[in-house]
Structure 1
Amino acid sequence: MIAIIDYDAGNIKSVEKALNYLGEEAIITRDHDEIVNSDKVILPGVGAFADAMEKIRHYGLEETIHEVVEKNIPFLGICLGLQLMFESSDEGPGVKGLGLLPGKILRIPKSGDLKIPHMGWNNIKVKEDSRLFKGLPENPYVYFVHSYYLQADDEDIVAATTEYGVKIHAAVEKDNIFACQFHPEKSSTVGLQILKNFVSL
C-alpha cells in the first residue's frame, strides 16, 4: 500500500491515477497510523511553501513524516513536496521547512527572456547510480512547473540537475528519502518509469 499524504495541496489525484495505472494500490490519507504503516509514502504538492507548512502542522503531519523517515519507509516528495523537505524557502521567509535534508529553496532569477514560472518540458542530467532513474536514457525529458528551485547543501544527494537560467537540483536521493522538482505523474512514459522505480524499491 502506498500512502499519498493529504494536506489539501493540489495534484494529489493525478499522482493516485498514475499509481493506479501502474497497478499499485494507493490511499489518499492524513491518518497517522495509515501513513506510518504503509509500504511507501508520497508527499505531493502544488502551491505556496508557507501555506503548505501551515497545513502540514495544522494536521499534525510533521511528526508523522519524520516518523516515516526514521522507520526507513521509502518516502518521495514531488514538486512542492520536494521543497518542503528542506530547511527554508524564499517563498516563505522565516517559515521552517521539514528539515529532512540540508538545503534551501531559492527563487529562479530573472534571466533574459526566460519565463517564470518555469513551465514545460526540460531534459535532466541524471546521476549514473541513481535508483530513481534506473533504466532511463541519459538525459530524459520531464515536465516542470515552478518558480523556486532547490540548492542542496550536499551535492552527493543530488540525483538529477537541469538548467533554467541557473543550475537546478531537480531530484535528490538519500537513504530512503527521494524527491523530484518536476512532476513524474505528468511526464509521460519517463515519469511512469520513475514512479515504477520508486514503488519497486
Structure 2
Amino acid sequence: MAIQQELSMDLPVIDLDIFLSGPEDSEQVLNECKKAADALITYGALVLHDSRVSEEDNSIFLDLLEDYFAQPTEALKKDERPELSYQIGVTLENTEKPKCAVDEPCLRIIERLDPAERPLDISAHSPDPKCRFFWRMSDKPPYATQFPSLNASNIVPEKDSLRERWTPIMEQWGKSMKNA
C-alpha cells in the first residue's frame, strides 16, 4: 500500500524584488529561482511578493472575488460564456479538461517522465476542479475581427453589491498587474 505524502498548502512566497534589484547571477537571485522552481514542482503554484503592487489593492481585489464566488451557482452561471470559449466571464469548476488528457504527443511525454515527476493522473479525463474569472484588460480592436470573443464586452455580475464595485476594482487590479 502506497503512503501518500500530505502536502501543506502554505505556498512559498517568492520575492520578486530580489530579481529586480540584484544581479541575475547573484547567490540571492539564484536561491530565489530555486525556491520558485521547487514550489512549482511541489505545488504547481507559488505566491509572488512585488513591492510595486499595493497590499490594499490586493486585499480589495481578493475581497471582491471572495464575495463573487460566494454566490450560488445559479448566479455564477449567468456569467458563463461557453460560446466564446470562456474567454470572458466565469468558468466554473469541472468545466475545463486538461489538454494532455486527449493529446497523444503530450501523453507520450508524460509517460517518459519519472513517476515522481508526472502530473496527477489525467487518464480518467477529469475536468479541472478550479473556478476562474476572465476579465480582459484591453480595448476592443479598432478593426473587424473573425474572433467573436474579441468583440465581446467584459462580463459584470448582476448583483448590486458586486456590480457597483466590479469594474473599478478589476481595472485597478489589472493595471497593477500590467504595471508591475
Asked which structure has the greater RCO (Cα within 8 Å, sep 6+), the reply is 2
Same fold per superposition (TM over 0.5): no
TM-score of the superposed pair, with normalisation by structure 2: 0.27
The structure that is strand-richer by fraction is: 1
CA radius of gyration, larger in? 2
The structure that is helix-richer by fraction is: 2
TM-score of the superposed pair, with normalisation by structure 1: 0.25
